[in-house]
Structures are given as C-alpha cells and as structure tokens.
Structure 1
Amino acid sequence: MFILDKAATCVDTNSITKALKLWIVWLEETEIDPFSPAALHYKSPTYGFKEELLLKVNYHKSISYNTAANYINVIKNFYQFLGDINVIEPTLFFRHEQKFNGRGKAINATDLSIRPLRKHQGSSLNPLTKSECTVLLSIIEKLSRRDYLMIMLMLGCGLRGQEVITMNSCLFSSEVFSENEAFLIQGLEIGPDVGVMTKFSIPRELFITKVLYEEVLDFVEDANYLRALKKAPSQDNYKPLFLLSNGNRINKSTLYNVWTKIKKEFAESTGKPLAHKPHDLRATFGSNLLRLLADEVAHIDDALHLVKTAMGHKNVVQTMKYVSHLSRRDTLAQAAEVLDAAAIKFYIGDSL
C-alpha cells in the first residue's frame, strides 16, 4: 500500500523497494518487531536500522552516505504513512527536530537523518600502549586515593573528564554492591538526573567492575572523605565524589594538575614522554573493550553496538574510530587486564 501510494504520486519506487527489502531482511535477521518501539536504539526498528546503514557505510563500505540517507528516509516516510492511516504513532519511532543549514536557515528534520561525519584535524584516537599502561598503573598506585580513583574511572570505565569531575558519590552504596554478584555492577545510570554531566546530557549505564566499585565505596565511606563532605554545599541526592580541601567539587584544573604530575613521574621513570592527554584514557578503555568483545561475540557489529552503549556515543559512527586499533599489537589485549592489575593492591590490602 505504501509503495502504491508513492507510485500514485509519480515517485520512482525502485529505491523505495530496495530500501524496504534491505530493512525487512535486517528485521528478520535481528528478530526485531517493526511495530514495537524499543528503549535501546540498537533494538529499535528505526534507530537500529539507521546504525546498520552507518555500519554498511563506514565499516563494510558496501553503500554510500547518500544511499544510506535515502534508505533511512524511506523508512521514516513509511512510519509517517502508517501514522497517517492511524496504524502506529510515528513519534514512538523517531523525533522531529529543527536544524540549521550552512546559511543559518532553519530546516525541519528528524533524528533519523544521516549526514556525512565531518572530519576534524587532530581528532584521531591515541590510546595508551600496554607498556605505557603498566607504568601508568604503577604511578597512580602511589597517588592519593582521590587522584587514583579519578584516573581509574577514566581508564577503567571510559568516563570523560567532565563526568569524573561531576560524579555523584550517592551512586556508590553497600546496598548496590551487595545486590550485584556478577563481574560488572549493573543498573547504575549516570546523567543529568543524578548530577553527572554526560555529553549531550544523554544518560547511560555506567560500565564499572565490582572490584573498582568496591574501591570507590571504600573511599566514600572513609572518615577523610566524610569530613571533607561536611564542608560541601548541601544538595538533595547529590554529593560530589571528588572534593577539594575546602569542600568544593574538583574542577578541570584539578584533573590536569594530577595528569601533569603523572606525566612528570612517567618521564622520570622511563626517560620517555607520556604523549597523551587525560581523554586518551577513555580512548584506551574503548579500544580495549572493543578488542575484548570482538573476541567474545560472533559479529563485530554486535561488539560495536555494545561499545557504543558503554561509551555513551551518540551514534555508531563515533565508535567506528576504535576499529582501526583492533590490529595494534601494542594495545592491551583485554580491558580486564588493566582492571585486574590495578586491583592487586586491593586484594593484598595495601593502602595508598
């Protein structure tokens, strides 16, 4: 009926047929119901297909950006058509949004739109090597508990600097720890609702191992932290995880001062410079997690979607940058290797 409707308005139905055929095959392979919206984008019949098309453009190189844009537009129009005849509510499958073109003119669009990814100079990833990580871990174990955990949350959880700075200690409790028996703590969401400033204000589940979670829990239950917390401004359901001596929350300068100290110690220890920024810790986490998942799951596409979720990427194109590091022999073989090495002092009872 949808194709007939387009044919009646003198629209070339060839590309429409190709788009629908590819979409239906994908729906069957993924066992996704086209009439059921999903909370997770990769399980959605619209957003999931958009990410599938982006994979075909950037990873498989089987279609062009223009073709992908046309195909997702067909699916958007299909759902709009179903809405017009009162079969479904289109807003459950995509959202309208206003964007601006190069001339500053407002245009109507949807969040399904596909556009070529702009390349910015200096935006390539620079994850730490295995040898660099080994030295880094030995250095941060000598830092204060606060500074050690700041770095570990970036390296072991893939947090951005701003997310570490605004992390809420209320997320760390004995109840949550005791409820989780798996290797990873599950169901812990970060975002503006809990005071954590994620990129684009998009909430996501925090990827954190139980070992690292317990280290943070020990920190927030320590008398030194509790004394510092008494100086902090009182806020409902929000307590800064990392504080200055005056009770104020840490800032970017705090993080960069710690990193400068680490770089100095690294150079003195190895005779080589640590040519990395704090954000490269997040890149290290993403690269290692993708490598680990690529060995564990059947398809690289599935691994990419899992890394996308853990990293809080807006779309899978951002995650594609990590694929190039899968073949780097000097990169850590597994993300857990870093976490286990950092957790040694916890198991033997050493203190910082």
Structure 2
Amino acid sequence: MDRNSSARPGKSSEAQVTKIERFQVLTPNYGTPYSAATSISSDLNLELTNNEILYNFPVLLDSEGQPWDIANLYLIHKYHHTLNYNHRTYASIADHLLDYRRFLDSENIDYLHFPKLKQLKATYRFKKHIEGEIDSGRMTLDTGKKRMSGIHRFYKNIIKFKLIDSELIVEAPYEEVIRYIETTTDFGLKTFITVSSSDLALQGSKPLPDPDFIYDDGKTKPLTMHEQMVLLKALKKCDRAYQLLFYLAIFTGARLQTLSTIRICDLNRQLDYEGNLRLPVGAGTGIDTKKKARMTIIIPGWLVDDLKIYIRCSIAQGRRESSYYGDTESNYIFLTSKGTPFYTSKQEMKERLTGDPNSSNFGQPYSHTEGEAVRQFLQTLIRDIQKASPGFERFKFHDLRATFGMNLLEDELDRPDRKPITAILELVQQRMGHRNKEITLQYLNYRSRIEWKNHVQDQFESKLFSHVVRGRSE
C-alpha cells in the first residue's frame, strides 16, 4: 500500500490487476533501491533491459488506478531472475498480491505496518483473515496455503534483494522456520530434507488421495469401455474437427495443448514400419507440451489418413483462410469456425509480439485461447449424452489422457505373449511422457482397485444379498 493511501476501515478495495499484452522492461540509469520517496520522473533516461516482449504481463493497480510500485517492482525483479516467463505463473502471483492488497485497503493499514506486537503486524493479520476464510468454507486450505506462501516470498525477496530501503522495516514481517520433511530414496532408505519456511505458513495436512482417481497432472478418472463407446457414438453427430481432436486424445494420450498446436506440416513425415506416425513434440518442435518436455507421440496410421482428408476439405480450408497463418501448411490442423486455434501456441505468441513490424498482422489485437472452445463444446456434448443416458458421468478432456493410459495398460496385460510388468510399465511411462514411474504405477494400482471392487460387488450380490429379508406385499 502506498504511504498516502486514503482507504478507510471497512471500505471495499477497488485494487485490480490489469494485463499488458506487449510488455517490455525499461530500466532507469541509476541503481538505487525503491523507497517511499522514490519516483520516476518524465525526464529520466530509460533504456531497454533486453529485446524480449512479454505477453500478458500483470500490473497491479491500487484503488485510485495508480500502479502499486513495490508489487510491480517485485514482479519485474522476479522476471529478471528466472529463465522462462510463463504468463499464467505471473498471473497467479499477481492474484495472491491483489488479494493481499485488497485486505490491506479494507483494514486501512500499510504493507510495511510491523509494530512490535506480533498479532498487529500486517502479515499476521492477513494470516488470521485467510484462516477465517478457510474456516467459513469460502477458501480451500490449498488456496490459503498458496496465498500465504506467495506473501512470504514477496517479503523475503523485497528484503533480500533490497527492493526497498532496509530502514523502512524496523520489525521483521515473519519468523523463519526450519522444517524437516521425511522422504524415501530410490534405494528405499529414509532420509530428511531441510526446508526453509516461515511461521506464516498454514498448518494442515493434504487430504488423502481419492482411490477412485488417478493423479496424473491433476485429478483424472479414466472412462470405462462402455463410456468410451457412448462418447464415440455421440461424436458421430459433431463437427469433424472436434471428432478428430477427441480421437487423437483417446488414441495418443497427449494433452489438449499438444494436440491443438500440431500443424499441417507436422503430418508430412514418413510412417514407421508399423504404419504409425512418430511425432516429436516439445521444445524445438513448435508443438507445445507441459514445461516444454520433449517426447514422441504415436499417431495411428488410419488417424493420420483421416486428418489429411480433413485438411483438404472445404470447411478446413475456409477456416484457415480467415486465420492468422492463412491457407498454408504452417497453420494448425484444428481451428474453430471463426478461424482461431483451440490453443494458441507459444510460437504464434512470439511471432505476433516480435514479428516483422511491417507485417499487416503485427501488433494486432487477437483472441488468445487456451482450450476454452473445447471445454465449452465438451459441456454441451455431455448434456446431450445425459439426455439419452442420465447415468453418464461428467468428465474433463484431460480424463481422455488417463483413458488412453488405462487402455494401453489393459491391452499389454491381455496379450498372450505378455511382457513382464516392469517392461509394460516402462512402455506406458514412455508413451505417456511421465517423469517417473510412480505416476505410471498409479495406473496399475487403479486397475487392481477396480478389479477388487468388482470382486467385492460380485460377492455382495451372490452371497450377502441372499440373506437379506425383503419386504413382502400383502
């Protein structure tokens, strides 16, 4: 909070986050740290830090619409000290800071309000506020922990890197705490990891994993074979682009971001000896993956043929003509009816922000997409399915990835010439792109749990239920 804030107790804050589509960092020609007296004058000599343009960089504004200097300085400093910029990560950090700023405004206190009495300090008052939000059910424990962790890092960094004058902080905003976390090595040995934390951290253990789900980049649940058949039947009536996108998800296990950023030219590869397309994705390929991880997805030959047929149809061609890349092989395979991609690739973002200034597309506003059209389509599709099959459960597109993993595991386990379990797990791990085998092992454990549940159900039906006394009509 700025020193001259006029917020009154009980008054709701109008602080907000605005996002700048094309953001470049300028640095002044002096190296003094930020203080309450520091301001940037119009005649100050500024120069570009580097030539990188950041997409959707968040900027925090106070209730009067003025930049919250220290928070924005913190975000810029963080950018200078990280290797990769991810606009969603920074949006999350800004969200934590915005929630904190609004609390400070409502309490009419400064972000540097640290009297000797601990419970009156701004940080601990915010912690108590967050605990109240959790107790009332308005916030989850996980979100609350992230909030407090974000505020801890904020103060830790502005102090450590001297983003403010040290004289402004007379009392510490928190107390450092050393925690020891027990872990198991690859050789089965117990060891402890030392972790630096603070007394701002919220206590509370994570809920036990739900046995009905697999935790693979989020909580996922594979579709049963019956559910898959119902889904594929319903897709027959849908837009061909969505049909093929869902087929790719079910038969490759790739994420939506990856499938949506495959381009026409990526299909111009020689098929392997089994007639499948082995397509490298990730860093350096132009096809996005989570954290730029490199892997190879395998697309069945029949699906490659169908994709090529779709690409040549008039509908797909018309969508390309109204899109950023035009009717070229550099365009995405999948576009909406408006010519926008299902998921804007990092390559397109870079080209739009740093391309040829003389290009007609340079600097033009555009609709950045991250799968919204697919999720909206899926909700409509599920509603239509449930009209005919009321018992059909809702699912996420990401569940199709878990469905592929379970299908692959089942297929390998059912082969007459079945490989050893370790070899099967290695295959599933490779095809799914898992970082470690613990994630892959969940699929095998999930299968065992399903078999056990079915076994118990059979026992219940055949033995226990025969002893139940049923009501008889007179």
Residue number among 400, 405, 413 corresponding to 1:286 in the alignment: 405
The offset of 1:201, in angstroms, is: 0.8
Conserved 8 A contact 2:282-2:288? yes
The offset of 1:226, in angstroms, is: 2.1
| 1:248–1:125 distance in 2 versus 1, CA, 3 Å | closer
Conserved 8 A contact 2:277-2:301? yes
TM (normalized to structure 2)? 0.43
Q: Aligned partners of 1:213, 1:125: CA distance in 2, in Å?
A: 27
Tell me which residue corresponds to 1:129.
224
Conserved 8 A contact 1:170-1:238? yes
Deviations 1:238-282 (A, max 9, x none): 421211233221241111112112211210121223232111111
Conserved 8 A contact 2:281-2:289? yes
Tell me which residue corresponds to 1:270.
389
Residue 68 (str. 1) matches residue 183 (str. 2): no
The offset of 1:208, in angstroms, is: 1.5
- Secondary structure (helix, strand or coil) at the match of 2:419 reads coil
Which structure carries more relative contact order (alpha carbon 8 Å, separation 6+)?
Answer: 1
Tell me which residue corresponds to 1:190.
281
Aligned counterparts, 1:76-155, within 5 A = 101-103=195-197, 123=215, 124-155=219-250
Residue 313 (str. 1) matches residue 407 (str. 2): no
- Secondary structure (helix, strand or coil) at the match of 1:194 reads coil
Deviations 1:155-200 (A, max 9, x none): 1111112222222222123x53xx44525323x2112423222112
Tell me which residue corresponds to 2:421.
300
User: Which blocks of at least 5 consecutive residues in structure 2 are unaligned?
Assistant: 1-181, 199-206, 343-368, 453-474
Aligned-residue CA RMSD in angstroms? 3.3
Residue 258 (str. 1) matches residue 353 (str. 2): no
Tell me which residue corresponds to 1:245.
337
The offset of 1:285, in angstroms, is: 0.5
Tell me which residue corresponds to 2:143.
none
| 1:256–1:67 distance in 2 versus 1, CA, 3 Å | closer
Q: Aligned partners of 1:67, 1:233: CA distance in 2, in Å?
A: 49
Q: Aligned partners of 2:209, 2:266: CA distance in 1, in Å?
A: 35
Conserved 8 A contact 2:220-2:398? no
Deviations 1:130-157 (A, max 9, x none): 1111111100111111010111111111
Q: Aligned partners of 1:185, 1:247: CA distance in 2, in Å?
A: 26
Q: Aligned partners of 1:182, 1:245: CA distance in 2, in Å?
A: 35
Structure 2 counterpart of 1:206, one-letter code:
I
Structure 1 counterpart of 2:232, one-letter code:
L
- Secondary structure (helix, strand or coil) at the match of 1:293 reads helix
Structure 2 counterpart of 1:286, one-letter code:
G
Q: Aligned partners of 1:232, 1:100: CA distance in 2, in Å?
A: 52
Q: Aligned partners of 1:67, 1:129: CA distance in 2, in Å?
A: 35
Tell me which residue corresponds to 2:305.
214
- Secondary structure (helix, strand or coil) at the match of 1:207 reads strand
Of Structure 1 and Structure 2, the greater helix share is in 1
Tell me which residue corresponds to 2:96.
none
Identity of aligned residues (%): 23
Conserved 8 A contact 2:412-2:419? no
The offset of 1:102, in angstroms, is: 4.5
The offset of 1:231, in angstroms, is: 2.3
- Secondary structure (helix, strand or coil) at the match of 1:292 reads helix
TM (normalized to structure 1)? 0.57
Residue number among 253, 263, 272 corresponding to 1:158 in the alignment: 253
Deviations 1:14-33 (A, max 9, x none): xxxxxxxxxxxxxxxxxxxx
User: Which blocks of at least 5 consecutive residues in structure 1 are unaligned?
Assistant: 1-63, 74-98, 105-117, 331-352
The offset of 1:67, in angstroms, is: 4.6
How many residues align structurally? Answer: 226
Q: Aligned partners of 1:300, 1:226: CA distance in 2, in Å?
A: 46
Q: Aligned partners of 1:100, 1:308: CA distance in 2, in Å?
A: 30
